[in-house]
Structure 1
Amino acid sequence: MPKFLDGRVAIVTGAGRGLGREHALELARHGASVVVNDYGVSLSGHGVGETPAEEVVATIEAAGGRAVVNTADVADFDAAEAMVRQAIDTFGHLDVLVNNAGFVRDRMLVNTSEEEWDAVVRVHLKGHFAPLRHAAAYWRAESKAGRPRVARVINTSSGAGLQGSVGQATYSAAKGAIATLTLVAAEELQSYGVTVNALAPSARTRMTEGPFAETMAAPESGFDAMDPANVSPVVAWLASVESGDVTGRVIEVEGGRVTVEEGWVHGASTDLGRRWSAPEVGGELLGLLQKGRRPEPVYGART
C-alpha cells in the first residue's frame, strides 16, 4: 500500500534530537527519504563531539526506511549548499526542506553579549536562509528546465518570535525574523511550485527544559501535550503534495491544538492629507490605539 510521502526526499536540520528527530522519523514513517542533519552541539551551541544523527538514521533504516547522516553547520553557506547537493546526489532529487536547527543562550537584554547575540541570530536566521537559498536555487533551475518539483519548505518560528519572551530577546528577534522570511519566500518561490510555511511549536525540548521546566513536564498519566512528536504530523502534511494551497502561513502547534497565527495587519488609520504637527498627532494616535486590539502579552510579562 503506497505511503503518504512515497518518493519524496526531505532534509531536516537539527534532526538529532527533540523536534527535528521526531520530524525526521515521521517523514520516514510515511515513506520519505530523509537527510538527517545535526551538527552535534550542546544546548548553547558549543561542540560536544556527539553524532545523534546516526542513531536517527539507524532507527529509520531499521524500520525499512531510507536516510543518510549530514553533520553540516547549517549557517555555513557552502556547507548548506553541500547538504542540498547530498540529498540530490543520494536520492535523486529534493522535495522538502524542514529548517529546524537552533540553540538558545537566554539572557535579559541588558546582560546579552555581542557574541551571544551573533551566535543565536546566526544559527536560527542564517541557518534558515542558507539551506533555503540553495534549495530554492535548485528548484528554480528544475522549473526552468521543465522539471518542476512539488516542493515544500517548513520553517521553525516560535511563540517567542510572534509574541516575544522575557529573557529571550535574541531568540525572539531571530524567530520573528524567520516568520517574516517565510512570508517573503512564499511569495517569491510560488512560481516555481514551492510553498513556504512556518511552525511555532510548543514542545518539550532541550531549549524548553530550563526556563519552562514546570509547564513542559510530562504528566504522570494521560495525553502528554508537550511531547515533540505531537508537532510532526503537521510537518508531514505540509511536506505532502496535498498542502499545495497553503503557503505563507505560520501555524502554532501545542499538543492537540493547531492554531493559524494572524500576524501584523493594518489597523485603524487616519489620513490628514498633510504633515502632522507634533502636538496634534498625539491625541489622534491615542484614539487609533483605543480602536485596535491590544497585542498579546509577552511571555513572562508581569501581569
Structure 2
Amino acid sequence: MTDLRFDGRVAAVTGGGRGLGRAYALMLASRGAKVVVNDVGGSLTGDGADPGPAQQVADEIVAAGGEAVASTDSVATADGGAAIVATALDAYGRIDVLVHNAGNVRRGSLREMSHDDFDAVLDVHLRGAFHVVRPAFPVMCDNGYGRIVLTSSIGGLYGNHDVANYAVAKAGVIGLSNVAALEGAAHGVRSNVIVPAAVTRMAEGIDTSAYPPMDPDLVAPTVGWLAHETCSVAGEIFIALAGRVARAVIAETPGVYQPSWTIEDVATRIDEIRDFSAPVVFPVVPSGHNDHIGYSFAMADERSREEHVASHG
C-alpha cells in the first residue's frame, strides 16, 4: 500500500508539546504536513505556562527537515482558540487538519469537587474544543476540505471515580464532533473522535507497573488515518488502547411500543425494554437524529395499522 502522506496539508495540534499530542505532531510532520504545535506549557492541573514544550517539538520537526511553528495560546479562551487557527493561516495560508488534544486534570469526588475545578477542566477539554473548532470549521468548509479529530476518553464513555469534570467534558466533545460531522458533510469536512489511552503525565498517580506497552506511538496511527484525506468515515468514535483499535457506538435496544403507559407497565416490561439481543445503531451521518425519531414513529405507525386491520378483519 502506498504511504498515506500529508504533503501540502496544514495541521494544528493542541497539547502538542508533550505526550500524545507530541506523537501526533511528529507523525503528521514526518509524513509531509506543516504543523502548528500548540501547547501552553502548563502544569497537569492547567496552571502556569512555559513556551518550551511547543517550541521544542517545533524545533525537532524542523531539524528533521519538516515545517512547523510553535503556538503557546490557550485553548481555554475564545481568543486563544482563534489565535491558534490564525497562526496556521498566517504561517501557511490554510488549515486542513485540526486535532484537539490539550488537556488538564483536577481530581476530586463528586460530593467535594469545587466549581472552579469543574470549570477549569471544561474550559480546556470541552470549551477548548469549541474554541478551536469554531474558527477552523468555516475556513475548512469554505475550502471544501477538512479533518477534525477531537479527543474523548474512557471516562467520557463510561465515567470513572473522582473525575466528574473530566467525564462531562469528554462526553461533551462527542456531541460537538457529531454536529461538525453533520454540518461539514456537504463541504468535505469530516469530524471524528479518538478515545486514546497511553502512559503519559496524565496518568500521574496511577499505578501503571502492570500495564502492557501503552506508548503514544500506539495511538498516533489511528489519529493519522482520521486526519487523512482517505478517511472514509464521519461522526464516529475510535478507541486506541494498548495496541487495540476499535470503534465505539451508541446503541439502543429495539424497545417496546404501547399506545399508553403507566409506571406499572414500565416495571412489568422492563426486561423487554432493556433486551439488547438485537441492538439498534443509528449512524450519525447522514441522518442519525432523524433516523432515531423515524424508528420510533414507525413502531407507532405499525401498531396503528395492525389495530386498523384487526378492527376491519
Normalising to structure 1: TM-score of the pair? 0.86
Within a 5 Å distance, the mapping from 1:63-212 to structure 2 comes to: 63-142=64-143, 149-212=144-207
How far apart, CA to CA, are the structure 2 residues paired with 1:268 and 1:234? 31
Structure 1's consecutive aligned runs of 4 or more residues displaced over 3 angstroms after TM superposition are 212-216, 290-294
How far apart, CA to CA, are the structure 1 residues paired with 2:190 and 2:273? 36
Matched, 1:280 2:279: no
How far apart, CA to CA, are the structure 2 residues paired with 1:2 and 1:48? 37
Further displaced range: 30-39 or 252-261: 252-261
8 Å Cα contact 2:149-2:226 kept in structure 1: yes
Secondary structure class of the residue paired with 1:83: helix
Within a 5 Å distance, the mapping from 1:207-222 to structure 2 comes to: 207-216=202-211
Structure 1 partner of 2:299: none
Structure 1 residue 286 displacement after superposition? 4.0
8 Å Cα contact 2:13-2:37 kept in structure 1: yes
Per-residue CA deviations over 1:41-87 (Å, capped at 9, x if unaligned) read: 10011114352101101100000000001011112112211221210
8 Å Cα contact 1:77-1:130 kept in structure 2: yes
Normalising to structure 2: TM-score of the pair? 0.84
How far apart, CA to CA, are the structure 1 residues paired with 2:130 and 2:34? 23
Per-residue CA deviations over 1:95-115 (Å, capped at 9, x if unaligned) read: 000000011111111121111
How far apart, CA to CA, are the structure 2 residues paired with 1:121 and 1:59? 31
How far apart, CA to CA, are the structure 1 residues paired with 2:210 and 2:238? 21
Aligned residue type for 2:223: V
8 Å Cα contact 2:40-2:49 kept in structure 1: no
How far apart, CA to CA, are the structure 2 residues paired with 1:289 and 1:177? 25
- Call closer, same or farther: CA 1:171–1:3 in 2, change over 3 Å: closer
Aligned residue type for 1:67: A
How far apart, CA to CA, are the structure 1 residues paired with 2:108 and 2:126? 18
- If asked which structure has higher relative contact order (CA below 8 Å, sep 6+), I would say 1
Structure 1 residue 285 displacement after superposition? 2.4
Structure 1 partner of 2:52: 51
How far apart, CA to CA, are the structure 2 residues paired with 1:49 and 1:33? 23
8 Å Cα contact 1:35-1:70 kept in structure 2: yes
Secondary structure class of the residue paired with 2:203: coil
Matched, 1:225 2:225: no
8 Å Cα contact 1:38-1:70 kept in structure 2: yes
Secondary structure class of the residue paired with 2:141: helix
Note the aligned Cα RMSD (angstroms): 2.0
Structure 1 partner of 2:240: 253
How far apart, CA to CA, are the structure 1 residues paired with 2:153 and 2:48? 24
Aligned residue type for 1:272: Q
How far apart, CA to CA, are the structure 1 residues paired with 2:175 and 2:84? 24
8 Å Cα contact 2:256-2:272 kept in structure 1: no
8 Å Cα contact 1:124-1:175 kept in structure 2: yes
- Call closer, same or farther: CA 1:29–1:107 in 2, change over 3 Å: same
Per-residue CA deviations over 1:157-200 (Å, capped at 9, x if unaligned) read: 11111111122221111111112221221111111110001110
8 Å Cα contact 2:13-2:36 kept in structure 1: yes
Matched, 1:266 2:255: no
Structure 1 residue 290 displacement after superposition? 4.8
8 Å Cα contact 1:41-1:50 kept in structure 2: no
Alignment: residue pair count: 278
Further displaced range: 175-184 or 94-103: 175-184
In structure 1, runs of 5+ residues without a counterpart are 143-148, 217-223, 295-303
